[in-house]
């Protein structure tokens, strides 16, 4: 017969306990409290949100700058575009009014949607989803 077994060969149950059963449990700290207490971890989370928002703003600004900055180059290097007309209206006027306005509205809409998505992702992170 082996130690810890009964005469019929079935092992005897052994109860295992921790000597630290009375030790204090680790307190879970939420991300929101890390931010409120201005800890280094909270600062990392806030910095991450700010960087994602800055990256988005710079992307929109660069897109707008390249588009509008490219129009004078287009008119300079392709004089036919400068002289072209559509329904009696000069093409540069159409590009600088209708197309530019549509681009500004589209970029603004895109910016707001993506900024809200960044903030929603951050809120989900705070709530632990």
Residue 85 located in a structural domain: yes
Residue 96 located in a structural domain: yes
Claim: this prediction has a pTM higher than 0.75: no
Range of the domain at 54: 31-127
- Round to whole Å and give the CA distance between 118 and 55: 11
pLDDT in tens, the chain (129 residues): 555 556 677 788 887 776 666 555 555 655 566 665 667 766 777 888 889 999 999 999 999 999 988 888 888 898 888 888 889 988 888 888 888 999 999 999 999 999 999 988 888 877 775
Number of domains in the chain: 1
Residue 23 located in a structural domain: no
Contact status, residue 122 vs residue 129, Cβ threshold 8 Å: no
Residue 1 located in a structural domain: no
Residue 48 located in a structural domain: yes
Residue 90 located in a structural domain: yes
- Round to whole Å and give the CA distance between 71 and 65: 10
Residue 110 located in a structural domain: yes
- Round to whole Å and give the CA distance between 100 and 42: 41
Residue 6 located in a structural domain: no
């Amino acid at each position: 017969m082996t130690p810890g077994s009964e005469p019929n060969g079935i092992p005897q149950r052994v109860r295992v306990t921790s000597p630290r059963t009375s030790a204090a449990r680790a307190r879970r700290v939420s991300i929101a409290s890390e931010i409120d207490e201005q800890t280094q971890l909270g600062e990392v989370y806030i910095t991450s949100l700010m960087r994602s928002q800055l990256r988005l703003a710079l992307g929109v600004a660069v897109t707008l700058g390249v588009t509008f900055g490219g129009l004078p180059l287009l008119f300079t290097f392709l004089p036919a575009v400068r002289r072209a007309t559509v329904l009696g209206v000069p093409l540069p006027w159409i590009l600088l009014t209708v197309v530019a306005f549509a681009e500004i509205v589209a970029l603004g809409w895109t910016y707001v949607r993506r900024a809200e998505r960044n903030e929603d992702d951050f809120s989900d992170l705070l709530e632990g989803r």
